[in-house]
Amino acid sequence: MAIFIQQLLNALQLGGIYALIALGYTMVYGVLKLINFAHGDIFMAGAFIGFFLATYLKLPFVATLLGSMVLTALLGVTVERVAYRPLREAGAPRMSLVITALGVGLFLENFTRATVGAEPRNFPRLLETAAWDLGGVALTSLQFLIIGTALALMLALRYLVRHTLVGKAMRAVADNPEILGLMGVNVDRIIIFTFVLGSTLAAAGGILYAQAYPVLDPYMGIVVGWKAFIAAVVGGIGLIDGAMLGGVILGSTEVFVAAYLPSTYRDGIAFAILILVLLLRPTGLLGRPVVKKV
Amino acid sequence: MPLLEVEGLAVDYGAIRAVRDVSLTVEEGELVALVGANGAGKTTTLRAISRLVPVAAGSIRLGGRDLTRLRPHEVTTLGIAHVPEGRGIFPSLTVMENLELATWLRRKDQEGLRRDFDRVFSLFPRLWDRRHQVASTLSGGEQQMLALARALLTRGRVLLLDEPSMGLAPVLVKEIFSILRELNRQGTTILLVEQNAHMALGIAHRGYVLEAGTVVLSGPGPELARSHRVKEAYLGR
Ligand SMILES: Nc1ncnc2c1ncn2[C@@H]1O[C@H](COP(=O)(O)OP(=O)(O)O)[C@@H](O)[C@H]1O
Ligand SMILES: [Mg+2]
């Protein structure tokens, strides 16, 4: 039982990080119907930006977190302006946008490798970790902080999308961007705002990830990004709650598979879950079933 | 000076010129009808005015200000309220959320908004009953009312309406038309596009008849309604 609770906390920690990143995929998909394949690398960039803030400017945790969120948001917006918007305005087919996103991701990986180097970097420990033993369950303050920060950010985002006017505008872009313009809303601004939110959460995910697994390298965004993408799809792409649910499911699967099976099975099983869920529910767990028109 | 002035408008879809030569004016407080058969270019004309399609030639002015280089949200800011063909509601949002988005430009004006919401809900009491419902679950008539209500909330200076009667049962069409007449009586300036030429010209001060992208006739509404050419256009030949 103690081990189970222990693993559950590990699962929530990892799942929370996946969920933060998955939200970026799902929001951009929601407004643009674009799978932003560069998003995993935005997460990597967020972690590296945090690394520099913490290592060279010696910033404490909260300042590192906020600083990385702001700078990564700038990066996300730059990518949108430089790479995606010109294609959108030219009316390029969706496939071109997806290929561009892949290209942006490769660029970010190689740019980081060229400037920072390929050797793994150690992210400094920014938090004093207190540990408690509760009847055999080892609780660490770090774990609570990661889970708590992820949860707080997700609830804030959920509130924003559901209840604020800009959140309603984000959902309206998904429905019909042209009509949103007729309401007097500058649709490009809403799209930029979506990239800001997505990149901000990815940066937060990057910093939290680096606190739990403190080794960074330029390619760390690939696998984590794929898994967050799977989480978004499993939950139902385009849905905020789906990203959160998918993140937790994926995190749990990994942690429990690694706990009870040889850890080499971990990723294989994660991807198998994707295929299985999509076979049973093509629109994801929370997605509305596709109605076939006869 | 007319409130809305379109001069020599032309619009292309690729190599096809859908609108060739449209000139029309709408004075403050007027209800003007733009009628013509299916495919005549009515929708394209409205979409050009609200800058949803590029203008190939001609000019569009609102209160003397040139709109041709602006983007849709800027045109809305200046006072164009466009209810597009097929209504263009946000289907996954609730009725209330649809309405709230129309207040984007003046979301700080709480006092004015309260009055406008009161007005809209007294015009369309059914929207109040259904305010928490997802818009896709509304009937066609209710969706049309939602689209109208939303346009009113943007407080445009000119209301562009694209076939508000499309797909509605005759009694609902009557209801919509009487609401339009009432809105106009209260001072709303309207440019009304309709295939239903007789009804539209019946309530319009003035009308224009569009054929193959060109204005071929214009004049006082009731007079046009009686003209032979309109009868042909109305029947779509
Ligand atoms: N998106 C489009 N692409 C190409 N041709 C179009 C498009 N929309 C309309 N057209 C053509 O432009 C002409 C005018 O259409 P439209 O403005 O919709 O007419 P109306 O509203 O009077 O029925 C028609 O010949 C139509 O086929
Ligand atoms: Mg039309």
Number of H helices, E strands in chain A: 12, 4
Helix axes A141-163, A187-212, angle to 10 degrees: 170
A166 touches chain B (CB under 8 A): no
Rounded Cα distance, A13 and A29, in Å: 25
CB within 8 Å: B84 and A182: yes
Position of tokens 């970097």?
A121
Q: From ligand 2's centre to the CA of B93, what distance in Å?
A: 25
Specify the residue with its C-alpha closest to ligand 1, atom 12: B18
Q: What is the DSSP string of B46-101?
A: HHHHTTSS---EEEEEETTEE-TT--HHHHHHHTEEEE-TT----TTSBHHHHHHH
CB within 8 Å: A174 and B92: yes
Residue A86 C-alpha, separation from nearest chain B C-alpha, in angstroms: 16
Beta bridge partners of B82: B160
Residue B215 C-alpha, separation from nearest chain A C-alpha, in angstroms: 26
- What pLDDT, on the 0 to 100 scale, is given for residue B196? 86
Looking at chain B, how many residues does it have?
Answer: 237
CB within 8 Å: A186 and B73: yes
SS3 B16: strand
User: Does the domain formed by A2-127+138-280 have CATH 1.10.3470?
Assistant: yes
- What pLDDT, on the 0 to 100 scale, is given for residue A260? 83
CB within 8 Å: B104 and A184: yes
Specify the residue with its C-alpha closest to ligand 1, atom 21: B43
SS3 B222: helix
Rounded Cα distance, A71 and B13, in Å: 42
CB within 8 Å: B92 and A180: no
Instruction: State the 10-residue block means of pLDDT for chain A, 294 residues long.
Output: 85 95 95 93 98 96 97 97 94 92 97 93 88 81 90 94 96 94 97 97 96 94 94 92 94 87 82 86 84 53
Q: From ligand 1's centre to the CA of B126, what distance in Å?
A: 33
A183 touches chain B (CB under 8 A): yes
Indicate whether this complex's ipTM tops 0.90: yes
Q: Rounded to two decimals, what is the model's pTM?
A: 0.91
Closest CA to B207 of B82, B2, B4, B26: B26
Q: From ligand 2's centre to the CA of B14, what distance in Å?
A: 18
- Domain extent listing, chain A: 2-127+138-280
The preferred substitution site among B16, B209, B234 for testing ligand 1, maximizing ligand atoms within 8 Å of CB, is B16
CB count in 10 Å sphere of residue A159: 11
Rounded Cα distance, A121 and A263, in Å: 24
Is the CB of B84 inside a 6 Å radius of any atom of ligand 1?
no
Closest CA to B205 of B188, B195, B215: B188
> Considering CB atoms only, which of B72, B107, B154 is closest to A165?
B107
B130 touches B142 (CB < 8 A):
yes
Bridge-based pairing of strands B65-66 and B57-62 is antiparallel
- What pLDDT, on the 0 to 100 scale, is given for residue B227? 81
Closest residue on chain B to A165 (Cα): B101
CB within 8 Å: B76 and A171: no
Contacts of B46 in chain A (CB under 8 A): none
> Considering CB atoms only, which of B52, B91, B104 is closest to A183?
B104
Rounded Cα distance, A281 and A278, in Å: 5
Residue ranges, chain B, pLDDT below 70: 231-237
Closest residue on chain B to A183 (Cα): B102
